[in-house]
Amino acid sequence: MGSPAFRRFPDPFSNPAPTPASFDYINEGQDLAESSKGSRLLNLPVEILSKVIENFDPIADQESLACLALVNRDCGQLARSCQFRSVKLDFSSRATSLAGVLFREAVERSRHHGRTRLPSLGACVRHVRASNMYFWRQVDALKAGPFSRDGNHEDDREPMTDLQFQ
């Protein structure tokens, strides 16, 4: 007999996955695109549309969300609300690019009284997880010889910081 199967139980103290922001919030008061006017999906009440989008899993339904994003601008924003409801910012190139997009949107908002010309990615983000472990791994890889640290001090570093947006 082997050892019993290990099952990972959810952490009761962790934040639950956030729900995607509602369409009226992510659309930021902009009118529907001309191609969206006759859409039965986008003309549903916001509450029902929110329930539909909540059922998408951003990892398992990547292909479906990518197809939805290609329909038109408003469906793209709806797909982004699911894909980017929770983001992880570390020092990787993907996270740096994402932070750059969010920064450019913030600059645009500061110049245009809190508005953006096009639907924004920042409106879709509900939860940010910041991690500096990627940075420390790069630093540790660069250190060699007499500059290497004695022992592993990764436990001394705070690996994650959660920010929850309402």
Which helix H or strand E contains 77, and what residues bound it? helix 73-83
Which residue type, as a one-letter code, is found at position 65?
Answer: L
Confirm if 74 and 29 have CB atoms less than 8 A apart.
no
Structure confidence at residue 65 (pLDDT):
93
Nearest 10 degrees: Cα torsion 35, 101, 123, 165: 160
Question: Of the ranges 73-82, 129-138, 156-165, which one carries the lowest mean pLDDT score?
Answer: 156-165
Average pLDDT, integer, range 119-131 = 90
Give me the count of residues in the chain. 166
Kindly report, residue by residue over 45-87, the tens digit of the pLDDT. 999 999 999 888 888 889 999 999 999 999 999 999 999 998 8
Average pLDDT, integer, range 4-18 = 58
Q: Give me the percent of the chain exceeding a pLDDT of 70.
A: 77
Q: Give me the percent of the chain exceeding a pLDDT of 90.
A: 31
Confirm if 22 and 50 have CB atoms less than 8 A apart.
yes
Average per-residue pLDDT for the chain: 80
> How far, in Å, CA of 84 to CA of 135, rounded?
23
Structure confidence at residue 147 (pLDDT):
52
